[in-house]
Structure 1
Amino acid sequence: MTDLDLVVADKQVVADGVALLTLRRADGGELPAWEPGAHVDLVLGADLVRQYSLCGDPADRTGWRLAVLREQSGRGGSAHVHDVLATGDTVTARGPRNRFPLVPAASYVFVAGGIGITPIVPMVAAAAAAGADWRLVYGGRTRASMAFTELAERHPDRVEIRPQDETGLLDLAGILDAAPDRPVYCCGPEALLGAVEQECARRGAVVHVERFAPKDGALDGPQEAFEVELAGTGEVFAVPAGRSVLDVLEDAGVEVLSSCQEGTCGTCETGVLAGVPDHRDSLLDDDERAANDAMMICVSRSRSARLVLDL
């Protein structure tokens, strides 16, 4: 994937703790195309790569818009964006990549929590443009902490803004009961995602989620040693307990793109030609896991003594 050196054309605060960036090419040229649900990687330092959803207009190829929440307990990426990155600076971006695509449908329910509104913004625009029947319920800690609340002004009959300090927790059962048989798209904190998945499972509803953090329990499991073989070179590496495939390959000088190192972004997805992975990511669905033809090498391990990777 090609690295793009982009200029921070604009940076502004759009809610408490939320910075909105507009990135453009220095020469004014077009950026790669993308669709709702896509994200890009920002390379903020040698070992500091973070993913942020694109929240602008896919038809505008002159700029990418990203909204970044300052994570008080984060690992430094959001703090760098808020405290270091300034208008006029150059930042390297990779992508876009889409693990959260909007599937064409006649109707939708969108549920967003906090900064999880970012991938939903272009989704509701696409649904509206397609003439679909849709509803968005957007929750957050406080109204001041919620970006893009102007969506309610543009679509007063379809968008509900629900700050927790004003209206309490989202009534997910009521939201889903009011719109049966619609596909549900949800992004936000893990507690919200897990609750939406449970409610949808009870109803047999189709649900699509995007996680910014690992799913509860996803990283749990035994830490047994195994081997990986690179199909392209025949090299074999031992992966000891407590170390990831990614760690071992990077130490050996094998170039593999990675980003989140938590199994949530898909950057390190690698083909599996033989062996049975022990999937510990928060991305692949049940069918993709059962196929066992790809894995996220930053977190997933092996159920077999050896894996043959398409590297």
Structure 2
Amino acid sequence: MAGGPAPPAPPETRPLSAMLLIEQALNGLQYGIMLFLMAAGLTLVFGVMGLINLAHGSLYMLGAFACAAVAAATGSFWLGLAASLAAAAAAGALIELSVIRRLYARDHLDQVLATFALILILSEGTRWLFGSFPLYLDIPAALSGPVRLPGGIDYPLYRLALIGFGLAVAAGLFLLIGRTRLGIRIRAGEADREMIAALGVDISRLYTLVFALGAALAGLAGALVGALQSVQVGMGEPVLILAFVVIVIGGIGSINGALVGALLVGMTDTLGRALLPVAFATVLPPAEAGSVGAALASMLIYIVMAGVLVMRPGGLFGRA
């Protein structure tokens, strides 16, 4: 996917050894974890606030630009990463206070139109601030180069670190939602927002916190992926489409579903791009096998989504 955190595909009809298959599986895992960071905030916002936020991809883009700009100014990727979290969370809180708060009582069409307008505003504002040319993030020196895995597989250390870091963030998010007072309020707000408001919970503040948390997760994903690709205006829209696919598969409002759906989409897309051209090469000429396999691989996640919805219309972990 152009603009998304997709790992590079292997040569179209290159024979798949066991080592290459494991490498592609790791790429799919890393892809899925990054999609989870994007989709978790989106499903939180929709589940708790009932809001369709098309501008979520723009917050992903803002995080990437903030990281690239601060890293270029300071020479530190880690300061850039912190800046991506702060900038995306601050932008999310500001957007919620100034625009989104006026949309809760409106129907979904108004929400779609308003958040689509935010995409245009944030894209043009970013272009005005940073220019039209892409920015580039260098992988930190401590995480550059390959690492030798069991079985003799050389795998990029940065991608391996993304898997570990993403899983740690996912664990922290599960603890936040499941074990803290804020998490209890978030889950209660998802179940019955009128009741918790009647019990004295400041629902407006809760909504702002949830939106800022979702924005911070999106910005973090954009910053982490920005070291693997160029940082450019519009990079969030293709990822937003995939994030919606993830939450539809997993079930809207479910963090567990977002994780399972993201891993399913990441593995399906990555392994599909690796395996289908090779499979078609057994019955078609190499050039045709590559094009047919690539075309079918690009549709595979939507086929999986349709299959899940046929069996479970509410998603894997969603309510009916």
Question: Fold conserved (TM > 0.5)?
Answer: no
Higher relative contact order (CA closer than 8 Å, sequence separation 6+): 2
TM-score, normalising length: structure 1: 0.24
Structure with higher helix content: 2
TM-score, normalising length: structure 2: 0.23
